[in-house]
Structure 1
Amino acid sequence: MRSFWIEFLTAAASHPFPAIPGDIPTPYDFDHSEELFPNVPAAPGMPCAGEDRSIYRRGARRWRKLYRVNGHIFQAKRFNRRAFCAFCQDRIWGLGRQGFKCIQCKLLVHKKCHKLVQKPCSNEHVDPVEVKEDANGESTLGRASSVRSRAEPEPLPETPPAPPAPVRAEDLEPGSQRHYSLEDFELIRVIGRGSYAKVLMVELKRTKRVYAMKVIKKALVTDDEDIDWVQTEKHVFETASNHPFLVGLHSCFQTPSRLFFVIEFVRGGDLMFHMQRQRRLPEEHARFYAAEISLALHFLHERGVIYRDLKLDNVLLDHEGHIKLTDYGMCKEGVRPGDTTSTFCGTPNYIAPEILRGEEYGFSVDWWALGVLTYEMLAGRSPFDIAQAADNPDQNTEDYLFQVILEKTIRIPRSLSVKAASVLKGFLNKNPAERLGCGEGAFLDIVNHPFFKSIEWEMLEQKQVVPPFKPRLEGERDLANFPPEFTDEPVHLTPDDDTVIADIDQSEFEGFEYVNPLLMSLEDCV
């Protein structure tokens, strides 16, 4: 008997179990033989043999755009106090980030003036320009002497901030303005985490309805650009509440240390979670998801919003199997037809070539990302995978990935149908002018593409088409479709640090509170 067990264990050790449980029947049952990899890495922390690293979650980032002129390193900034251009002496004013500030010597200039600055950067902090008011209330410009040289003062035309005063919750959120607070919700479980925020499953105590709550620490978004992005996310959440394939907003509120978005709780998990288990999807399933995503993107584009962060992580499945896009932190709003922007941002694997080339871009970048995502669904890997990249540190960097995106010819797997190959080539055209969805026909070119011929678009938008896959759920609080690395975390918010709160300019977050009137009316009926 002992020899039998020795032989059995020896045989088992030489045939390790696969990472994906193939003995469990799933709605996506098909041959996994080409996608499986042994679940035994060569060393702790190393990838398994044949493991596809692109399927793992990667966070989106904004690369700060810097402008170098005559030794200065300028960055776009938004000014809340009176500020004057060091070149033309006129006031810097307007909406958004009106001017540039040198991150070294703190010099302020108009955007239109930054290329004309001739004085070299001192690499030292300079004293601010004092703004005074005369008897008639007009502003006069008074120059303070420079730290570096009294003979040649180099002004910083911005008044220094006053010492921050301690902020109390009752002062920040008066009862006449506050609709919700943290006390109105029961925190149930952690369901997600990003570089800026944590996402919780919560219950509204009064109605027992379940929501997701995105929690952002104010201390992490005190930069001018970060604050603008939070406001943009709030506006897009409000807009998205009117579409079936976009996660909508319930309410917003704040405390002295945090911002809270209360949003729809989508129970089916994200496509990343399901793709990690299924590796690739049948063409019928990928077509259904790509079509619903197209409708969601088209809705945003019609309202002047570039999404800029389409990826498997941000595509959720509801309890019926329909998709919902979430996370609007990378969105650009206010884009009219023909308008462009230039911010270098996104998740590396999904960034469009025109962004990498430093070109102005528009809605085209979303259709490129849809092409990458559709490729991942159909092929089970990224179109930019590099063989043995994990073994070569030089090929495992963002710079090398960007080079591949720009230069590598995308090869379509032969196993895909002609129609699927055609739609991938259309979306993944490196020239945005020729990309599917970007020509004269715009969205109609997508609707009329042979790959989507079987889609009834009007019925699909009304959610009258039965999804090809329905997530298995045992109740509205079932978290079986969420990664355990999130759901196993303890549910608590770290105590506030008064010294950190004292450094936060609370005026930056005025007017953040919001309640969706439609959801409020529904709750009143409970």
Structure 2
Amino acid sequence: MIFLSSHPICWLNLLFPNVPPAPGMPCAGEDRSIYRRGARRWRKLYRVNGHIFQAKRFNRRAFCAFCQDRIWGLGRQGFKCIQCKLLVHKKCHKLVQKPCSNEHVDPVEVKDDANGESTLGRASSVRSRAEPEPPLPETPPAPAPPAPVRPEDLEPGSQRQYSLEDFELIRVIGRGSYAKVLMVELKRTKRVYAMKVIKKALVTDDEDIDWVQTEKHVFETASNHPFLVGLHSCFQTPSRLFFVIEFVRGGDLMFHMQRQRRLPEEHARFYAAEISLALHFLHERGVIYRDLKLDNVLLDHEGHIKLTDYGMCKEGVRPGDTTSTFCGTPNYIAPEILRGEEYGFSVDWWALGVLTYEMLAGRSPFDIAQAADNPDQNTEDYLFQVILEKTIRIPRSLSVKAASVLKGFLNKNPVERLGCGENGFLDIVNHPFFKSIEWEMLEQKQVVPPFKPRLEGERDLANFPPEFTDEPVHLTPDNDTVIADIDQSEFEGFEYVNPLLMSLEDCV
């Protein structure tokens, strides 16, 4: 059995060398936010003639200020200046001669990359000091805001499959920037699920709405794989979106690593192999995961892994396709993303290298001794510089095969990275580190996991951080004023029921 130690030590030993008073409790001076960092997207901006353009999705008739043609298509069809609100086609934005008309704006922190593109850091919007902006002649007037939507209007007739009344809320088991995760019971069958709850008011930005839809699609795809958390159903109220997903009760790898500090190679190999199969499944279906980290690797009741949280995924990536969105959890971001380069599936194999290093060494490959005492070294910019420039040191205690696989995954050149060559995933399968893995048996869950979480029942939450499970279980009352400002048309078609899980429930 692993993870059982009489003296559990915080795994980030370079930052927190103290011993916690009990498993799951924080060390003296420990700040959990340092290692449970959330992923996010950095806004990509384009500067031309004083304008600062950002890709946008338009839900009404919009016309290009340069060529006067309609801006149409799917996804984010055009660009909008975040200062003067000028609308243009993506193909026309470099041709705009009209200077930006808004001269009095708050400073925007923008960094140019090699392609002339820019990155806006944590600022998500720009507020003008000037008078309210007049409507642009290039676009028709905006329609009146829609009337508040009633629950019965959202799920009419036979389309309504589930609602909040169908579930009993049991306990909080997780929380993020946008969502709260609850353990719930479906009253009709007494089955236990996890419920991810997202406030619509927090996802009214075009890009945020896009990632919610992407997460739903990937959840649907993931329902067909043993190492990915699948979807039971989706429903909504006027104020919230609800994902009902598999409840994986063994806790996440971050929670267990806090107890064990580092894993034996056999254990790390098993987890890395199952994660590889999950990533390969997504890649074959055109999905870049982009948020692999210890927090998102769950253990089921038998000890097999399941990846969760698909909010950072990129869909529709065909072989040879690339994307350029600057996103991810800082410690796991690949060098090609930091360099502003186009990238593909390579970024997931880099993140697997970082995670495997953490399992084997008990620390991040980018940890810097005494960084907590030096404010200049405790910033994201400095971390990114380390990822780009620092030579990764492999601990001498690791075997030659383990050192080789880490060097393969953590190659700063994506073309030479393990999993990214002509043979792709086969290079991982055939690597000496994975020689003992029976891949077909592993994918069929016929290999016994090296560790089985201790669980006393289906609802045992011993493997979840008390900081979550001690929270009161309730949803704040709806605010009619906030609901009135939500464009409910953005969430049309969100409802979904997994037909496979429905058929299983009918057999109960």
TM-score, normalised with respect to structure 1: 0.86
Measured in 2, the distance between the counterparts of 1:476 and 1:142 equals 42
Shift of 1:166: 2.1
Shift of 1:294: 0.1
Q: Deviations over 1:177-204 (max 9, x none)?
A: 1100000000000000000000000000
Bigger Cα displacement from structure 2, 152-161 vs 246-255? 152-161
Look up the SS of the partner of 2:114 in the other structure.
coil
* Structure 2: tracts of 5 or more residues without a match: none
Q: Deviations over 1:214-270 (max 9, x none)?
A: 000000000111101100000000000000000000000000000000000001000
Q: Deviations over 1:303-348 (max 9, x none)?
A: 0000000000000000000000000000000000000000000000
Look up the SS of the partner of 1:328 in the other structure.
coil
* Structure 2 residue 431 is the aligned partner of structure 1 residue 442: no
Q: CA RMSD in A?
A: 7.7
Alpha-carbon spacing, 1:131–1:430, altered in 2? closer, same or farther (3 Å): closer
* Structure 1: tracts of 5 or more residues without a match: 1-12, 18-33
Partner of residue 421, structure 1 = 403
Partner of residue 26, structure 1 = none
Measured in 2, the distance between the counterparts of 1:87 and 1:143 equals 30
Shift of 1:120: 1.1
* Structure 2 residue 33 is the aligned partner of structure 1 residue 85: no
User: 1:130–1:157: 8 Å Cα contact kept in structure 2?
Assistant: no
User: 1:130–1:159: 8 Å Cα contact kept in structure 2?
Assistant: no
Alpha-carbon spacing, 1:175–1:159, altered in 2? closer, same or farther (3 Å): farther
Alpha-carbon spacing, 1:367–1:120, altered in 2? closer, same or farther (3 Å): same
Partner of residue 9, structure 1 = none
* Structure 2 residue 31 is the aligned partner of structure 1 residue 46: no
User: 1:81–1:158: 8 Å Cα contact kept in structure 2?
Assistant: no
Alpha-carbon spacing, 1:16–1:438, altered in 2? closer, same or farther (3 Å): closer
Partner of residue 150, structure 1 = 129
Shift of 1:53: 7.8
User: 1:129–1:156: 8 Å Cα contact kept in structure 2?
Assistant: no
Shift of 1:471: 0.2
User: 2:151–2:238: 8 Å Cα contact kept in structure 1?
Assistant: yes
* Structure 2 residue 442 is the aligned partner of structure 1 residue 460: yes
Bigger Cα displacement from structure 2, 171-180 vs 92-101? 171-180
Measured in 2, the distance between the counterparts of 1:377 and 1:139 equals 35
Measured in 2, the distance between the counterparts of 1:406 and 1:136 equals 18
Measured in 2, the distance between the counterparts of 1:140 and 1:280 equals 36
Measured in 2, the distance between the counterparts of 1:391 and 1:478 equals 39
Alpha-carbon spacing, 1:112–1:436, altered in 2? closer, same or farther (3 Å): same
Measured in 1, the distance between the counterparts of 2:261 and 2:129 equals 67
Measured in 1, the distance between the counterparts of 2:196 and 2:266 equals 33
Q: Deviations over 1:3-42 (max 9, x none)?
A: xxxxxxxxxx99999xxxxxxxxxxxxxxxx889654899
Alpha-carbon spacing, 1:14–1:394, altered in 2? closer, same or farther (3 Å): farther
Shift of 1:172: 2.0
Percent identity between the two aligned chains: 98
Q: Deviations over 1:468-510 (max 9, x none)?
A: 0000000010000000000000000000000000000000000
User: 1:128–1:157: 8 Å Cα contact kept in structure 2?
Assistant: no
Alpha-carbon spacing, 1:422–1:525, altered in 2? closer, same or farther (3 Å): same
User: 2:46–2:54: 8 Å Cα contact kept in structure 1?
Assistant: yes
Tell me which structure has the larger Cα radius of gyration. Answer: 1
Alpha-carbon spacing, 1:382–1:126, altered in 2? closer, same or farther (3 Å): closer
Look up the SS of the partner of 1:113 in the other structure.
helix
Measured in 1, the distance between the counterparts of 2:117 and 2:261 equals 67
Aligned length: 498
Look up the SS of the partner of 2:62 in the other structure.
coil
Q: Deviations over 1:64-93 (max 9, x none)?
A: 111111111100000110011000111100
Alpha-carbon spacing, 1:521–1:133, altered in 2? closer, same or farther (3 Å): farther
Look up the SS of the partner of 1:289 in the other structure.
helix
User: 1:281–1:378: 8 Å Cα contact kept in structure 2?
Assistant: yes
1:369 equivalent among 334, 351, 375: 351
Look up the SS of the partner of 2:196 in the other structure.
strand
Look up the SS of the partner of 2:193 in the other structure.
strand
* Greater relative CO, 1 or 2 (CA 8 Å, sep 6+): 2
Alpha-carbon spacing, 1:160–1:477, altered in 2? closer, same or farther (3 Å): farther
Shift of 1:163: 2.7
